[in-house]
Structure 1
Amino acid sequence: MSFSMIIGHENIKFQIVSAIKQQRFSHAHIIVGEDGIGKSFIARETAIEILGKCENKQYADIVEFKLAKGKKSIGIDEVKNIIEETTKKPYEGDKKIIIVYNADKITETAQNAFLKTIEEPPKGVFIILLCEKLELILDTIKSRCQTYKLNRLSEEEMMKFVSSKFSGLSEIELKSVIAFSDGIPGRAEKFIDDSSLREIRDTIINVLRTVSTNNLEEILSNENFFVKYKNEWQEVLTCMLSYIRDVLIYKETSNRDLIINIDKVNDVKDIAEMFSFNKLNGIINIIKETRIKMEKNVNSTLVFDSMLLKMQEV
Structure 2
Amino acid sequence: MMIMIACALLLVAGLAAVVLRGGERFQLPTGTNDGGALPSNAVPVPDHRDFPSNDGGALLVHVARRVLWWANVLLVGGGVAGLCMAGAGGRLVMRLLAVTSPEDDGRLTDAGETIGEISLAGTSGFVAFGIVIGCATALLYGLVRWWLPAGRAGGAAFGLLLLLGLSTVFGPLEPDSRDFRVVGPGWLSIAAFSALAVAHGMLVATASAWLSRRVPLLRSAKDVRWYLPLLLVLVPLGAGAAAVAAWMIAAIVLSWAVAALRLKVPGRRQRAAEVESGAQVQLGAAARPGAAEQPGAPVLSAEAGTRNGLRHGSWALVGGRIALVALAVAWLPGFLTSMATIVAAGGP
TM-score with structure 1 setting the length: 0.33
User: Which has the higher relative contact order, 1 or 2, with Cα contacts under 8 A spaced 6 or more apart?
Assistant: 2
Question: Higher strand share goes to which structure?
Answer: 1
TM-score with structure 2 setting the length: 0.31
Question: Higher helix share goes to which structure?
Answer: 2
Higher gyration radius (CA): 2
